[in-house]
Structures are given as C-alpha cells and as structure tokens.
Amino acid sequence: MSSVERWAFQNVPGAHWLRRTGLYWLFESRVLGFAFAPKINKLAEQLVLKHLARQVPDPALRAKLTPAYRMGCKRVLISNDYYPAFARDNVDLVTDGIAQIEPDGIRTTDGVLHEADTIIYGTGFKVVDYIASMRIRGSGGRELSEVWASEGVRNYLGINIAGFPNLFLLMGPNTGLGHNSMVFMIEAQATYVLDAIREMRRRDLVKVDVRPEVEQAFRAELKTKLANTVWTSGCNSWYMAPDGDVLLWPGFTFDYWRRTRKIRLANYKTEARAPAHMHGPRDDLTLSEAAAI
C-alpha cells in the first residue's frame, strides 16, 4: 500500500468503500472469462506465459511449470516470487505422481525415491467432507454423508438439502468461488438464514424443508451453467466433488446476492406449530434473538 493510499484512507471519507468497491468489480469481471466467454482468457493466458518466460529462462523447468489446462480451471495464483523460487539451486521441481510414502521419503511413479525429513501437504481443500463428516440425520433417518455419497451433492442455493428440515448451511456446496471473495457469499447466506428465521417466527412455523422438485431444478440449472465453464474443462481440481460435479457458483456473485435477499416459502414444505401453542406473529427478530434460537 502506497503512502498516498494510506493518507486517503485516513483523511478522505468513503475512500475505504471506493477501494473495496473497485476491488469487488475487478475480481467480479474475471468470471466473464471463466464462465461466460472463455475466449477472453486467451489474452490473459498469453500474458501469463510471457511472464513465465521472463522469470524462468530454463526451458526444461519452464515446461514443467507450464499448465496443461485452461486458465482458471484450477485456482489462480497471484504471486511475484512463486516462479523464481523454483530456479533456486536448492530447489528441485518434481512433477511425477506420488506412488507411495515410505519411511525415508516419497517414491514417485517413475520409481525414484525422493528422500525427505519433512513432508508438507498442499493438496487443496475438502470442499464437501467438512460437512459430510458431521453426523447430520434427516427426517427419513438417513445421514447427510450417505445421501451425498449415493445421490450426489444435491442442494438448494448451497444452503438447504431436501429431507433435512431446518438445516441451513453456510459455505455449502456450489457457493464457493473461483474469482471473488467468499466473504460476500457468506454474508448473503447469513442474510437468507436470518430472513428464514424471521419468517418462521412470524408465521409460527416449526419446520421448513426445501421441496425436492425445487432442489432438482436448481441442480439442473447448475449443471447447465457449469457445462461450458473453465472449471469443467478437464483438469484435476479441488473444485470438484468425488463424482466429478463442480461445486462452485457458476456465475456472478451479485446474482447469488439477489437470490438470497428473501426466502420464498413457496419453495419449501412447511409445518406450523400446533394451535394450542400458537403465539402472536413476530416480524421484529433481532440478530441476538436469531443467534439464541
């Protein structure tokens, strides 16, 4: 950050907001090349390869570092010192697959044993397992991990799963991003969940469960939109579930924000509290009250 930027943030009202807004739209624009018009990425790919050639003069090493997939298929790394690190005398880049880990190191698929004292894993993220590892049981008695393993990672807006009433997820499947900040998505999801709680309190509902047909339509929409994106272009990425489904949001984040402003109860099967226990309608639920439920 430059001294001018520091001064502006300290003295110019709204400077932080302008900076944040500019960054948002800068990152949001990347989805055009990732999801809607992949040809746009060709220019960016050429610029990246020229940058690689400048930083890595050794052709053999440069060949190992040159991606064999389209830009954006894996998470884009932004760094000025990543490539030069591989040119250091004490660094070897091995691109062969790992056959097994042995007491003395790592044996790769070409049969070579690479001796190592310490192994640091950098294999990505478990996008679904962190949820499926929790023992969440639905109304039919089945656990969420079993449902997702047999039926795929079905969901609605990455927030609800049919057959699991009153279950609301944050950072659920198909809400991850390959181009912008996850904080924006989490805030949108939190808004949706709070609105759902308000509606349940106001209407005295004890259960909401997304309709299977709504969930199916959402899943079909995702598959259609993801079909021609860079994320389904053929690389091995942690963006994908074990069955091959891509678990990212396939479009603009502001579209997701629009769809999560208010819950549409018509998309849910609902159950009201028994009349003997009914209370007056509530539409003034505060954040503290929501957190206490």
Q: Which residues in the chain land under pLDDT 50?
A: 293
Judgement on whether residues 239 and 196 belong to the same structural domain of the protein: yes
Match 């805030």 to its residue by tokens. 187
The predicted structure's pLDDT at residue 125: 74
Domain that holds residue 55: 3-90
CA gap 147, 149 in Å, rounded:
5
Match 């192994």 to its residue by tokens. 119
Burial of 207 (0-12, 13-18, 19+ CB in 10 A): middle
Judgement on whether residues 159 and 288 belong to the same structural domain of the protein: yes
Judgement on whether residues 149 and 287 belong to the same structural domain of the protein: yes
Outline where the chain has alpha helix (H).
Answer: 3-11, 15-28, 31, 41-55, 59-65, 82-86, 129-132, 144-151, 182-203, 212-226, 253-259, 287-292
User: Residue 228: CB partners within 8 Å, gap ≥ 6?
Assistant: 38
Judgement on whether residues 186 and 260 belong to the same structural domain of the protein: yes
Judgement on whether residues 61 and 108 belong to the same structural domain of the protein: no
Are the C-beta atoms of residues 287 and 198 closer than 8 Å to each other?
no
Judgement on whether residues 275 and 173 belong to the same structural domain of the protein: yes
| DSSP-derived 3-state class of residue 148 | helix
The predicted structure's pLDDT at residue 138: 94
Residue 209's DSSP bridge partners are 269
Judgement on whether residues 141 and 284 belong to the same structural domain of the protein: yes
